[in-house]
Structure 1
Amino acid sequence: MFRDSARISHQPPLLLCFLWFLLALPVPAQAQALRLRIATLELGACGHLEKGRPVGFCYELGEILARAAGMEPVNHLVPLARGLDEIASGAADMIIMPPEADIADLAEDIGRVKPVTMVAWARVETPLRDVRDLGGKTVAVIRGSRHELDQAKKFKFIPFPCKNHELGFKMLMAGRVDAVLGPLQGLTAEAGRLGLRRRFLGEPLVLGRDDMRVYASRRLPEDVRGRLKAALDRLIEDGSVARLRDKYPL
């Protein structure tokens, strides 16, 4: 009798078996859709670490947009090339960036959030007065940006890929490059953070204008992309996007 009792007491309780069964079940698609994986560009005012905490226009917009659409943001900083790879592979659901060559095939453009003036900026002793001055010069561009490589072909300069604009400016001051390419307000803020007074830099040469846009992966269900677009429209209308633009000039 005692042997039978011991055998029974060592069997897993029925409730525990039931819990194991529940844990083994696949998570419903609806529950998965509550998490929005955001790849934020680690690029100046777009996204950066401040006292160990991620901040920036794109980072904070991604956070409030996800929550406004009823989703929980899972947000992280990445270089441009990795961000595009994550959208392509399905590792990320959303990215905020200017248009790039392949992004339209990978993600839906759900809205424009910030106009951007693109410039080339050189040292004061080698000023850029005209786009023809770029010909043959070495210019720091963001690694992974096909758009900036297209600019190199258009204006006949030699691209020097860098992780970010901070490194680009350091290469400029070290004489490794002749200019840095990027958004005017973002470059101005980066130059200020690095302590580069205007007497070291010439006048920026305007090359064109573009827009920061929100892209939602086409792997997301259509209704989820619709929720994100509707939420973005509300954030634009109530002034939330404008307040972030004022807080983080790009």
Structure 2
Amino acid sequence: MSTLADTGSLLSSDDQAHPAASAAAASFAGLLTKLDYLSAGDIESIRQAYRFADEAHLGQLRKNGDPYITHPIAVAAQCAEWKLDAQALMSALMHDAIEDCGVTKEELVERFGAPVADLVDGLTKLEKLEFDTREQNQAESFRKMLLAMAKDVRVILIKLADRTHNMRTMGDMPRSKWQRISNETLEIYAPIAHRLGLNFTYRELQDLAFRFLHPWRYEVLSKALNKSRNRRRDLISR
């Protein structure tokens, strides 16, 4: 593994043998291009976590028909944008392994060490929480509980990356889930992103939640904003 761009040395022939890995190879190669701030050893550890997750999710598909592994890759890519460490990126790749694939925490400890296993286990516990009220005081209590449960802030950051990708692709999900997930995003996760200083993520989560909660209003406002931007451009040009 001489250079980061040498993805062939990272995607071995064993990786290519799995159908899901083959379909997601381009996505994983894209993730690798974001890891130039990490050491070669860290990148190799991330590759091993990818191979493990790819095998664990083999045969599972997203609602749009893509191999499920494309979702953990997208979550890890968002974490890489925030320059999180190798343990966080490994956990992002395996964040659904316990919940969806029957992998045990003990197995993760043995394969990847206790810190990574603790991160994945923390994410699994957060995934079991559901927010079903719109009252602000209860939303605040829920946020405090969520933050208290995550002993490592990296758990919250990976969860925010997970929620962001799920919101970006929620159009593929049944409409019956849009309201609950959007309310949860708007009242729980967007404020947490704001408190952590992730302003771009905060604004994106707000926009996406509003889009799925009020699609007609979103469309009207989007058209009005675009028209206003065009007018400003014309004015500046003149």
Q: What TM-score, normalized by structure 2, do the two folds share?
A: 0.25
Taking CA–CA contacts closer than 8 Å with sequence separation of 6 or more, which of the two structures ends up with the larger relative contact order?
1
**Could you say which structure has the higher helix fraction?**
2
**Could you say which structure has the higher strand fraction?**
1
Q: What TM-score, normalized by structure 1, do the two folds share?
A: 0.25
